[in-house]
Structure 1
Amino acid sequence: MNNVLVAIIIACEVGFWVLLALGLASRYLWGLRRLSNVLLISVPLLDVILLAAAVFDMRGGATADLRHALAVAYLAYSVVFGHRTLRWADAKFHHRFADGPPPPRPPAGGMARARYEWVLWLWIAVAYGVAWMIGFALVWLVGDPARTEPLMDLVGGLSKIVLIALLWPVSYTLWPKKVEPAES
């Protein structure tokens, strides 16, 4: 299944955006609310397909490597940020194509922006925790610690993302951007 898993990861990512675009177009351009709901509810099925492919690959004898860690990272992102991404895209699409209100923007600066960045960083930390849980689930499902040990090493390497992302809330806290007063 060598590169098939990579192809499935790519197909799931492309499939996410295709289902999202078709779901939003069905809702706002074509007025097909039921079809839109079916398409948008189908998005998490891609995660199930990806998880099954990773388990199938490893149970078939593959030793965990970067492909499996990428699958774990993708699944963790999808679990933690998937709904938020759907809401963001829905607000953008609604505004652009259906005269909806402009989507909310993050605070411009000050402590409100620092709080915003800390909350976002906490979600990134939660995604890292979810990646560990998915990694442990794969180890358990495969049942061969010798072949799955590299996966946990690679998942541990994702901590760099959490640490790098910490730069934003820290910088907004220590050096808050001044907010221009609103003109009346």
Structure 2
Amino acid sequence: MNFIAWTIVACEIGFWVVIALGLITRYIFKREKLGFFFLALTPVIDLVLLIVTATDLYNGATATQVHAIAAIYLGSSIAFGKSIIRWADERFRYYIQKTGTKPVRKAGFEYARHSMKGTLQHLLAYIIGGAILVAMIYFIGDPARTEVLSSTLKVWALILGIDFVISISYFIWPRPEKVK
């Protein structure tokens, strides 16, 4: 595994570590500002990945699937980051602190709306990550070195289309209530 791949793994681990530190600091140690500081570090992790990836390509590396995954990771992290933190916060309060309300399984129209919101976040991730991919393609300026980036953009567009179809299907065939 190359350096960029290890950097992606380290950034993903770092993302969850700063979220855990933020929640523990906020709720266990009652240091809300320090907890917010840790949670605010998540974009810094994204910036590190962007710098490492851009530097590697700037120094003449041929773009690989790993470089494309870095762009996907960045777009997804930016688009989904806040909702992931909110999701973790709700569960931390309920399961660890034993406060707050129990997270409920959505069904019917509520689940369809939730699914479509996730798909729209996916669209935002695609726009951000796609812009990074297009920027890498443009700045490298050599189609032979960026072919994998172009193909990744096409595959991701197909996946996004499938995501839209699935979300729309929940409006037609709603997710049933869970039988207790």
What is the TM-score when the length of structure 2 is the normalising length? 0.87
Q: Which residue of 2 aligns with 1:117?
A: 115
- Taking the aligned partners of 1:116 and 1:61, their CA distance within structure 2 comes to 43
Contact 1:55–1:142, Cα closer than 8 Å, also in 2: no
SS in 2 for 1:129: helix
Q: Which residue of 2 aligns with 1:26?
A: 25
SS in 2 for 1:158: helix
1:28-107 pair list within 5 angstroms: 28-102=27-101, 104-105=103-104, 107=106
Unaligned runs of 5+ in 2: none
- Taking the aligned partners of 1:179 and 1:10, their CA distance within structure 2 comes to 37
Q: What fraction of aligned residue pairs are identical, expressed as a percent?
A: 35
Q: Which residue of 2 aligns with 1:153?
A: 151
Q: Deviations over 1:61-111 (max 9, x none)?
A: 1111100111011001001001110111111112223333125545321x3
CA 1:37–1:176: 2 relative to 1, 3 Å: closer
Q: Which residue of 1 aligns with 2:166?
A: 168
SS in 1 for 2:41: helix
Q: CA deviation at 1:168?
A: 2.7
SS in 2 for 1:64: coil
Aligned residue identity for 1:176: P
My pick for the range that moved more, 23-32 or 151-160, is 151-160
- Taking the aligned partners of 1:25 and 1:115, their CA distance within structure 2 comes to 31
Q: Which residue of 1 aligns with 2:11?
A: 12
- Taking the aligned partners of 1:3 and 1:120, their CA distance within structure 2 comes to 31
Q: Which residue of 2 aligns with 1:127?
A: 125
SS in 2 for 1:166: helix
Q: CA deviation at 1:121?
A: 1.6
Contact 1:65–1:150, Cα closer than 8 Å, also in 2: yes
CA 1:114–1:38: 2 relative to 1, 3 Å: closer
Contact 2:119–2:167, Cα closer than 8 Å, also in 1: yes
Q: CA deviation at 1:113?
A: 2.7
Aligned residue identity for 2:166: W
Q: Deviations over 1:7-50 (max 9, x none)?
A: 00000000001111111111111122232122111111110000
CA 1:103–1:60: 2 relative to 1, 3 Å: farther
Unaligned runs of 5+ in 1: none
Contact 1:28–1:97, Cα closer than 8 Å, also in 2: no
My pick for the range that moved more, 117-126 or 81-90, is 117-126
Aligned residue identity for 1:49: V
What is the TM-score when the length of structure 1 is the normalising length? 0.85
Aligned residue identity for 1:59: Y
Aligned length: 178
